[in-house]
Structure 1
């Protein structure tokens, strides 16, 4: 099967092709959801991406890290492309721990598992056990409204400020005092791609009318599974239970849209525990996890 190689992301048709592969191959142990790719869309021009017809895709992020969606029979072809693009040296590949066929290919090619941060995939059935959101007096949760694009991007930036994220690490990490990269233009780019739906873009409105938190959902209507990605609360409104409330509101919106299962993929290691605790509190349970395999200098775990 021939590979159509792209040095950069080419356009919406390529994103849609990648999403179709994910949707067709999706199972509860899959690494990717169609919403992941829509959310990653603004970063795609900075990646080296390859498509293998309608069967597989892969991308490389700096310095030499591979992400992929490929059946077992194409795993070798993907790794060969990775070698050609990076020229050897230290290379790493992140996959699900359940992807045994790809792990065999990696092991045969000289890769070894390494310790470090990983994502824990968590699931929640969207059934009658889903509780209603509980909010402090004066706050309300609702879908984002037309004309709120700048405010929606701003509440994301407030929640995802690097200094705040570093403070939640165990131990805390100094990530500087920069800004999140979520501009209004970037958010407009994201919501312009399938499968974005404004009814799954839930926000918390503070008593003064400003936005205090947000949760974004992405539904795969074929598989009836929805991704919760991302959730955030402006720290000026922290410790009020708004993260749980907006997550539950988004889960209810997912259920109303026809989803039967929700997935969320926070970090699972002890170095960044806060998001996973939040998702457990609203009924998610741990499922699979990612693993990273490395070859070259520092590859031994």
Structure 2
């Protein structure tokens, strides 16, 4: 985003005395929000002579994008006090805010309003509700919303899959994926990654291998996000050889993939290989997290013990 240029254009508008129309006001709010300058967005919003649902939604969306779910709820309450009725975009955005702040009670109130105005069939609202209930551990509610949706596209399936994966219910993830396959819905790399995440938590190796085969069929093995998920799955299942084979194919491994492969090699007694990878990770500029540091410390501890034993034998 060219913040300076956009701010300069805004300055020109003010100096010329041009009275912005509704679209220009909203564009300014969106511009500052996307430039992470929410204070400027708020100032523009306050200057608006008439604040409609689009302008309120733009400001709420800006705070949600910044991860401030609490503020998004506060703004929504202000909007309702001003007697402005929300539309489907407002409600979907607000539900994301509730997910960020894990505000289940307010989310349920929004759910009631969604039902009242007849917007439950909206895909974005439905997926936002599923995400909210999943993150708050209310998977029965998430299932209920999913079942009530008249049309279930891959977006909704992925939302529910992700919910079960987040709580580590690998069996439910696999069961849903099989139903998705039976419904002949196309699954993408994101869906495959979610399924692998769920399988990794349950340690179901054979299921993971089947998903790996499905990923190859759709070209998912060429996607770094999928391959990182495969490394994590094989590592959690304790299969170091397969994890290492997949890891070698990743162009830009993330910290989870590095941590997974180093940890599984360390646990399988392949200390030297794990140490080499740890060195490669640091040389690549990737900062280690607590899991890679713990694995490295274990490797160092085992090396020190081996040296002490050797010294004892020599003496």
TM-score by length of 1: 0.25
Higher strand share: 1
Instruction: Give the number of the structure with larger relative contact order, counting CA–CA contacts within 8 Å between residues 6 or more apart.
Output: 1
TM-score by length of 2: 0.25
Higher helix share: 2
